[in-house]
Structure 1
Amino acid sequence: MKDFNMTAIETTAFQRLEAEGRLLKPTLKAPTQHAGRFGFRGEIALALDPPVTLEATFATSEGDDPALSFLAGSLANYTQLPALVETLGANVKPDGKYFIFVGDLDRASRYQVSFADVSYYVLPIDGTSVYNELIDSLYLDKTRMKKFSTAEKLDSIADGAAKFDTAYEKITYDDGLKRIS
């Protein structure tokens, strides 16, 4: 088993994003407490002109897997979803867990939107944080989480996401466009 202290960004799914300068404002960009796991907490740049970022990002990769195992963050608009998908490219996989909270979705909206063979949970965010939404959605103990370091919080969230199996309405990206306009 790999020693978590030896996991370097150059051996993870974050390598390309780091090389392209897309990992912004990190509060964590380091190995977590889980052996072989690398975590990122910050923002991911999706486009430069106009600037678009995946805000309040939580993400992990496992060992030398070229794809992220978990990703969550928020976008201002549903129409920014293709920029996220394009930016992530091969850094996502069909069995990964990807939660995208979107500012312009109706509060009751809960979708699974697939791009190629990768599914994204697309959810509304309304005056709260991605962190709080994840804790609620994944049924994590908020009181217990307060005592954790940033890396431990990310591990708990990633572990909770790995177990998440709720099915939401499956729609195409274009179906989603019709629902927000």
Structure 2
Amino acid sequence: MTTLEKTVTIEETALSRLDQENRLFNAVLKGPTKKPGRFGFRGDIALKFQAQVADEKRPPDYSIEGVLTVVQAGEPTISILVGYIHSFAYLPEVAQVLSGLLTPTGTYFIFCNNIDLLAKYRVVVDGITFFVLPCDESTVWKEMTDLLSIDKNDIKKLDTAGKLDYVLDAAIGFKEAYPTITVEEGIARMGPVKNRNENRPV
């Protein structure tokens, strides 16, 4: 980057509203990536806030966790976003919180705790298509690199921003023809939310 090039800020991107609403939490990355004019975020997006007492800051009730997204300065929408929710039933809230920020031509993956481990769905909410996939005891990052057949050796020398660019560039335009179901069908099929820490050593 030359000294004449301007570093992109979150205020110039589609993430600005979520930032102003204090929905962006636990950021591993929240800053410019390696691509000109591109801003990246890895962290959580709050879906529902707890009631706050006075000035006490409480963590959200629940969030889209493990979010991977990049946005372009000056563009009003998010063209790609990946994240994890504990329950399929939160999907309408995902669409509501991100309303106006997603586009029918975008690529959106939601990994979910309580759907069948062999299930892969396309779910359209308010005109936006989400690829909904199972995620049990893994991470969003590992699930995405596996889904896209990305060899970790191809990205191990990149920094956090470079890795995010690489993986999301590979994911943009994903077109697998998974069965399309409605939110109501997904809720009818979903199981109980599993405690992901149940069998893990303390």
2:56 is equivalent to residue 55 of structure 1: no
How many residues in Structure 1 have an aligned counterpart in Structure 2? 179
Distance 2:188 2:20 in 1: 36
Structure 2 residue runs of 5 or longer lacking an equivalent are 51-59, 192-202
What TM-score does the superposition give when structure 1 sets the normalisation length?
0.94
Q: Deviations over 1:105-156 (max 9, x none)?
A: 1111100101121100000002111001000111212122222111011101
Report the more deviating stretch, 43-52 or 65-74: 43-52
From the two aligned structures, give the one with the greater helix fraction.
Answer: 1
Measure how far apart 1:96 and its partner are: 1.0
2:180 is equivalent to residue 175 of structure 1: no
Structure 1 residue runs of 5 or longer lacking an equivalent are none
Q: Which residue in 2 is equivalent to 1:31?
A: 32
Q: Which residue in 2 is equivalent to 1:13?
A: 14
2:102 is equivalent to residue 101 of structure 1: no
Structure possessing the higher radius of gyration over alpha carbons: 2
Measure how far apart 1:6 and its partner are: 2.0
- Identity level (%): 37
Report the more deviating stretch, 23-32 or 139-148: 139-148
Contact kept in structure 2, 1:4 and 1:37, CA below 8 Å:
no
Q: Which residue in 1 is equivalent to 2:78?
A: 68
Q: Which residue in 1 is equivalent to 2:98?
A: 88
Q: How does 1:120-159 map to 2 (within 5 A)?
A: 120-159=130-169
Measure how far apart 1:5 and its partner are: 5.0
What TM-score does the superposition give when structure 2 sets the normalisation length?
0.84
Distance 1:76 1:39 in 2: 23
Alpha carbons of 1:179 and 1:23: their partners in 2 closer, same or farther (altered >3 Å)? Answer: same
2:119 is equivalent to residue 119 of structure 1: no
Contact kept in structure 1, 2:107 and 2:173, CA below 8 Å:
no
| C-alpha RMSD of the superposition | 1.5
